Amino acid sequence: MSESKHSVRFPGESADYRSARDALLESEIELRRATEAVAAKRRTLPLGGEVTQDYVFEEPDGDGNSSSVREVRLSDLFSEGKDTLILYSFMYGPEMKEACPSCTSILDSLDGAAPHVTQRVNLAVAAKSPVPRIMQHARKRGWHNLRLISSGKSSYNVDYQGETASGEQTPMLNVFARRDGRIHHAWASEMMLVKADPGQDPRHVDMIWPIWSLFDLTPEGRGEKWSPRLSYG
């Protein structure tokens, strides 16, 4: 038996189904290999540019249920013994009527994953709205685990592609690394910055957005028009 085949059969499956499924399994194995190869290549990247300023952010001062805020700097987002920071730019600027539904769906899932992720690396989410507005949205969503910060007091959004020159908010995912007391940019979800293949979304943050991976398993796929909403009913 080849490495891409097995002896398991499911109830009622036909020979045609099994033949097609075995062929798909070969493609899935190749995709896994490609995914591992890309991840390995990502790990070999040299350090990106050193961060030229210790950006000022704001976060809740306490449990997030009051309007009290405190300043934190980029360097403060690194905890002892953890030299990597994942920082997601959440599309929720002060001029936006409501938070981005797609970003919100990402963060709904990431809030549950955060306690696991932060066992190894630092994780934070930055939005340009004031802290009380961010926390009001967080309470509506039931987020309890994400470190939510406001980027409204610095040029972080513009410098690291979380905002366009015209002020439009964008969902960039950045990774920073601390080496010998200095902070460097390590990686960004740059597929957002290039044209996607025909019929495809940029898919630059699929790795942290599980709903699309679930849809990819179904006969219907992702569909052409559906997108997340802030509420359903």
Q: Per residue in 40-50, pLDDT tens?
A: 999 999 999 99
Supply φ then ψ for residue 56, to 5 degrees.
-95, 130
Radius of gyration of the chain (CA): 21
Residue 139 within a domain: yes
Residue 208 within a domain: no
The C-alpha atoms of residue 8 and residue 207 are separated, in whole angstroms, by 29
Residue 108 within a domain: yes
Please say whether the beta carbons of 137 and 103 come within 8 A: no
pLDDT at residue 211 is higher than 70: yes
Task: Find the mean pLDDT for residues 104-113.
Answer: 98
pLDDT at residue 225 is higher than 90: no
Task: Find the mean pLDDT for residues 140-150.
Answer: 98
The structure's pTM equals 0.94
Contacts of 133 (CB under 8 A, 6+ apart): 92, 94
Tokens (6 digits) for 161? 């592609």
Residue 97 within a domain: yes
Residue 17 within a domain: no
pLDDT tens digits, 114-125: 999 999 999 999
CATH number of the domain enclosing 125: 3.40.30.10
Residue 9 within a domain: no
C-alpha closest to that of 147 among 227, 83, 70, 216: 70
pLDDT band at 2 (very low <50, low <70, confident <90, very high): low
pLDDT tens digits, 53-102: 999 999 999 876 767 999 999 999 999 999 999 999 999 999 999 999 99
Domain count, the chain: 1
Average pLDDT of the chain is 95
Burial class (CB in 10 A: 0-12, 13-18, 19+), 208: middle
Please say whether the beta carbons of 55 and 74 come within 8 A: yes
The C-alpha atoms of residue 37 and residue 21 are separated, in whole angstroms, by 24
pLDDT at residue 4 is higher than 80: no
Range of the domain at 149: 56-190
Looking up tokens 């932060």 gives: 118
C-alpha closest to that of 77 among 65, 85, 88, 69: 85
pLDDT at residue 233 is higher than 90: no
